Structure 1
Amino acid sequence: MPLRRLSIVAAALLVPALILGYLVATGERGLSSRRASSPFPPRDVPTNRMDPQGARELGWSSDGLDRVLDYLARLSADSFVLMTDGQTVASLGDLAVPYSIHSARKALLSAVVGQHVGDGPNEIPLDATLAELGIDDDPPPLTPLQRQATVLHLLKSMSGINHPAAAEGGLTADKERRLGDGENQPGTIWAYNNWDYNALTTIFERRTGVSVSEGFRAGIAEPVGMQDFTPESASYIVEPARSRHRAAMFRMSARDLARFGQLFLDRGVVDDRSIMPVSWVDRIAADYAETGIEGLRAGHGYLWWIPSRDTGLPEGSFCAWGLGQQTVFVIPAWSTVIIHQSDTTEFLKRWLTLQEEGMDGDAALERIVMDCRMEAGMNSAFCREHRFTTRREFNRLIGLIVDARG
């Protein structure tokens, strides 16, 4: 039975209070704008679409795909691919260019952990407690009760541990509201919690004897035929004043992310060889916590998000998500994988510059969003190529994709 508890505002990495500020500044909730159109002109960005007959045979409307690609060209998307039955139905941008995937990194961490679950040497026992695994923190140390949290609790974001974490910046308000400043019984409260994911990184590396990067390269990137993953594709954020556990970050290309999504669509099988337990893939959409938010992040389990039915996506779908709408959608009912990426580099530079000039984070984000809505801003290079793709815009994109199905 799925654990159905509580709600969340999704967190971003490296950018203190960004998502909270974004929700405040834009006032966006749910999918109410699904039918809205974009005021931005289309960019000159390469797009490709399968021929109409081929698209229809795979369940897609040719006219609907045209509307999807037209809308994408009006966003700041840098790469997009829609793949059904292993065939590219539609794409935008250069699919070979790697971008930071921000919080979507957690689905990659889940994958390598899933490959090493077990009770043997160099394996990860899901029922083992932090105490049994020798996991603590500093500053401050964990309490004896907190150290009773298990690996499974970390994977399900239910450790109940409210401890500072690397790469969480100032995005702690929602976690603190849920967890408070005292102890919680492990397994009783769900909260989106970077501490859980970073401690899971430490556990993986101690138990397996390899880094997350090497585990991903050998266990996933090479078997599925990724073309752009290198040792430099993964890095760490280290904040010893907050926690001893590091955050493992990734830069990935759209075509490599598509192969990653296809692995889950194929339930862990590559060339008739199982490289991930089927049971691990099946857990994602079957054993999750309801977050209390309608839309694309209505549920959360094993570091993946579960969309609600009001999105139009079929039951059994799941997605990885990160700042700037970095997403990997796995939609088994449609035999489809969808990748969306946007380079957030220029946006983050402008956002941080405004803060250096005296604005707080929320005001700086509101300035960027609103400036790009003004007539002068809409045609600027920044707003056309680098602006922040909002949640409302992205929800509209998903609505167009749903409409294009059939």
Structure 2
Amino acid sequence: MRTTTLAAAIAALALAVPLSAQSQQELLDARHDRALAAGYKALVLCSAIAIAERNGTTRTPESVEAWELTGIQAPLDGLVASLPFEIVRRPGGQIAHVAVDWAEDMPARIAAYQRPETGCSILPIGAHNGSDPHAQPAHEMALKILSPNDEPVLPEGRAGPKLAAAVERALDADDYGKGARTTRILIQSDGTTLADGYATDFGWSTPQRTFSVAKSIAATLIGASVYRGNADVNASAGLGLSEADPRRAITIDHLLRMASGRYSDTPGNRTDPLYYGGATVDEVALDWPLISPPGSTYRYANNDTLAAVAAIRKTFAAHPPTGMFAKLGMNHTVAETDWQGSYVLSSQVWSTADDLAAFGQLYLNDGVLPSGERVLPEGWVKYVTTPSGPQPATGTFGYGAGFWLLNKEEGVPPDTFAAIGNRGQYVVIVPSRQVVIVRRGEDPAGSSFNIAAFTRDVLASLLTE
């Protein structure tokens, strides 16, 4: 499926960069940005569509372009729409890969659907996809898959009028953030649904990328490893080249608390070479230099979570993320890997609101499954919600170990904590009220959803209804 011609896209790029500004470095940077934008588009199309079909529903390319591929960060947002793409399928209909053209003298960027358990992986820039000679263009396939809802579905469940009104405002108005785009709201108490609402194009089994909610999932997988006796958060994470390397002093706990003391190039560190460039975790996340004593400074960084996960990756052969997802009933969740098979658990997890509510319920139950089986250590909830490390210098939220803390928000119980991801992904857990609030979104860059205000309104409505 070609959305435009490559020549037109290249002409648009030339017009976007004045000749007077086209220094060698600027041209090189512009070319690299196009390669990353193509990788972004290939991976998002592949993951959104393939994982939706895995879950028994469907997403159209037009829907993905309208939601996931608009409002993204600069400079990719100005490039993505013009890049032509093709969806290639295997006999039977399953996606094989998505290809996005970006330069006449280079192969298309390829996102390959590896396995249902691990979703799509972006191949390195310049890689050809020759792994599936039987793949066919998408238009030759006929799929029989359930469609998502075509119109917004307003609150269902046991919501009283005040709770229903808050959910409806979150879905249809700017009350909780100008320009914010909510795709799903799910509120549960003790596992019972109190309110549930969807945006157009989304249904209960429609997956979305979790972004940094994946960091909290990573912390949970580490907790399960600790419970099994396979990991110790106070042990070295194994970074550095030898025992003499000062980075060996960095523990898993330091990494979970964003307190490794390692350098990062930007706040959060833009991990685009890994996420969309086809680099691997080992290439880009583990070798950053130490510039502060471990445990002395807070610096939110994707690389810290990736290094914490790398410290337990030998356990994944016997205990992959799919095993934990199955125990929790998170059957519509996929943790993706780089093209060499390392999990990218800082961001690349796709999940549904129902699965994330089950994830939140695990923490309400102190790490015990409904069956009575314990999967997290006793006290793990206290551990991840204790701000014992250095704290963010800005904002009102604190930070524990892989989770954000809403312990200073007026009208919100001080034991409230949350998994939070870019573009408005929230899983808010309120132990004292036995409530889980899941909000999914595709908020444009520069817009945000006020989750503290929404949480306050939800909890207040539950007290009066």
- TM-score, normalised via structure 2 length: 0.55
Change in Cα spacing, 1:127 to 1:227, as seen in structure 2 (3 Å) is: closer
What per-residue deviation string (whole Å, max 9, x for no partner) do you get for residues 326-346 of structure 1? 0111100110111111246xx
Following the alignment from structure 2 to structure 1, what is the Cα–Cα distance between the partners of residues 452 and 421?
A: 14
**Is the Cα–Cα contact under 8 Å of residues 160 and 183 in structure 1 kept in the other structure?**
yes
- The residue aligned with 1:400 is 457
**Is the Cα–Cα contact under 8 Å of residues 426 and 451 in structure 2 kept in the other structure?**
no
Following the alignment from structure 1 to structure 2, what is the Cα–Cα distance between the partners of residues 67 and 169?
A: 39
Answer with 1 or 2: which has the greater Rg.
Answer: 2
What per-residue deviation string (whole Å, max 9, x for no partner) do you get for residues 10-58 of structure 1? xxxx799949xxxxxxxxxxxxxxxxxxxxxxx951123444xxx6xxx
Corresponding letter in the other structure for 2:154: T
Match of 1:338 among 434, 437, 440: 437
Q: Percent identity?
A: 20
More helix by share: 1
1:326 equivalent to 2:383? Answer no
- The residue aligned with 1:73 is 171
- The residue aligned with 2:6 is none
Following the alignment from structure 1 to structure 2, what is the Cα–Cα distance between the partners of residues 255 and 17?
A: 25
Change in Cα spacing, 1:103 to 1:183, as seen in structure 2 (3 Å) is: same
Q: Secondary structure at the match of 1:257?
A: helix
What per-residue deviation string (whole Å, max 9, x for no partner) do you get for residues 151-209 of structure 1? 22112211101156985349xxxxxxxxx986211111121122211111211113x14
Match of 1:96 among 205, 209, 213: 205
Residue 145 of structure 1 and its aligned partner are, at CA, apart by 1.9
What per-residue deviation string (whole Å, max 9, x for no partner) do you get for residues 68-114 of structure 1? 12212215211111001210000112222110000110001000100
Change in Cα spacing, 1:182 to 1:159, as seen in structure 2 (3 Å) is: closer
**Is the Cα–Cα contact under 8 Å of residues 109 and 201 in structure 1 kept in the other structure?**
yes
**Is the Cα–Cα contact under 8 Å of residues 321 and 335 in structure 2 kept in the other structure?**
no
Mapping of residues 4-403 of structure 1, within 5 Å: 18=73, 44-51=151-158, 62-75=160-173, 76-93=181-198, 94-117=203-226, 123-130=230-237, 133=238, 135-136=239-240, 144-163=245-264, 168-169=271-272, 183-206=291-314, 208-210=315-317, 215-218=320-323, 220-229=324-333, 233-237=334-338, 247-248=344-345, 249-270=348-369, 271-289=371-389, 290-295=391-396, 298-343=397-442, 365=445, 390-391=447-448, 393-403=450-460
Residue 305 of structure 1 and its aligned partner are, at CA, apart by 0.2
Following the alignment from structure 1 to structure 2, what is the Cα–Cα distance between the partners of residues 209 and 405?
A: 41
Residue 294 of structure 1 and its aligned partner are, at CA, apart by 4.3
- The residue aligned with 2:34 is none
Change in Cα spacing, 1:210 to 1:400, as seen in structure 2 (3 Å) is: same
Residue 399 of structure 1 and its aligned partner are, at CA, apart by 3.9
Residue 126 of structure 1 and its aligned partner are, at CA, apart by 2.2
Following the alignment from structure 2 to structure 1, what is the Cα–Cα distance between the partners of residues 387 and 374?
A: 22
Q: Secondary structure at the match of 1:341?
A: strand
Following the alignment from structure 1 to structure 2, what is the Cα–Cα distance between the partners of residues 277 and 226?
A: 20
Following the alignment from structure 1 to structure 2, what is the Cα–Cα distance between the partners of residues 71 and 142?
A: 55
Change in Cα spacing, 1:104 to 1:288, as seen in structure 2 (3 Å) is: farther
Unpaired runs of 5+ in structure 2? 1-39, 41-68, 75-149, 174-180, 274-287
Q: Secondary structure at the match of 2:409?
A: helix
Change in Cα spacing, 1:128 to 1:399, as seen in structure 2 (3 Å) is: closer
Q: Secondary structure at the match of 1:278?
A: coil
Unpaired runs of 5+ in structure 1? 1-13, 20-42, 56-61, 171-179, 348-364, 367-389
**Is the Cα–Cα contact under 8 Å of residues 167 and 237 in structure 1 kept in the other structure?**
no
Structure with greater contact order relative to length (CA < 8 Å, sep ≥ 6): 1
Following the alignment from structure 1 to structure 2, what is the Cα–Cα distance between the partners of residues 304 and 17?
A: 24
Change in Cα spacing, 1:216 to 1:311, as seen in structure 2 (3 Å) is: farther
Change in Cα spacing, 1:265 to 1:325, as seen in structure 2 (3 Å) is: same
RMSD: 3.6
Following the alignment from structure 1 to structure 2, what is the Cα–Cα distance between the partners of residues 397 and 160?
A: 34
- TM-score, normalised via structure 1 length: 0.63
